[in-house]
Chain A
């Protein structure tokens, strides 16, 4: 069974700061998702990664398959980035996801 760990659990940043959220997993995967969960509970998919790096606007996601580690970066953070960020590992040869507990980000103006 894959164990997915995220750090930090909580993060408070000043507007404009560069933010990094980390995710590690214990078993080889076929892909890793980064999700954003808003206070109302709705979930939005940000990235799906199987290797390397992806960028969308101010968000950057990287993955190191050998080290079983992924990071989500937010550049020039803004209060509207405040949400819970969740990583989820997709097992090799599987459709099922194992989710981390999430990182609660608060960006203060």
Chain B
């Protein structure tokens, strides 16, 4: 079993600024993912964070808006760039091994 921590747990940001969210897993995992949950909506996959290479983005999400890094097998960051109030959401980091999936506590972002 793996434990995922995220920083920050919540933040309130001004329009036009950027925020980087960190995701740390306490053991090596195969895959890491970033999800977004807008108010009243289900969790939606933003991208798969690939270790040592560019992330794989889902339709509707682009690297310029959501740059992602994954320098090693236990750590990833998601940046929400040039934020607008529409970016107010919960951002969730998830990780997977061959037969297990793990979830972070989420980061609640409010953009004013």
Contact = CB atoms under 8 A, between A and B. Distances in A.
Given A41-B90, A48-B100, A97 B45 contact: yes
A86 B43 contact: yes
A99 B43 contact: yes
Nearest to A45: B103
A90 B101 contact: yes
B96 interface: yes
Contacts of A69: none
B92 A43 contact: yes
B101 A101 contact: no
Contacts of A100: 42
A41 B106 contact: yes
A88 B42 CA distance: 10
A86 B44 CA distance: 13
A76 interface: no
- A4, A48, A95, A101 pick with most chain B CB within 10 angstroms: A95
A95 B30 contact: yes
Contact of B102 (A41, A45, A88, A96): A45
B112 to A, nearest CB: 18
Given A45-B101, A45-B103, A97-B101, A86 B108 contact: no
Interface of A: 4, 33, 35, 37, 40-45, 48, 86, 88, 90, 95-97, 99-102
The 3 tightest CB contacts between A and B, nearest first, are A42-B105, A99-B43, A41-B106
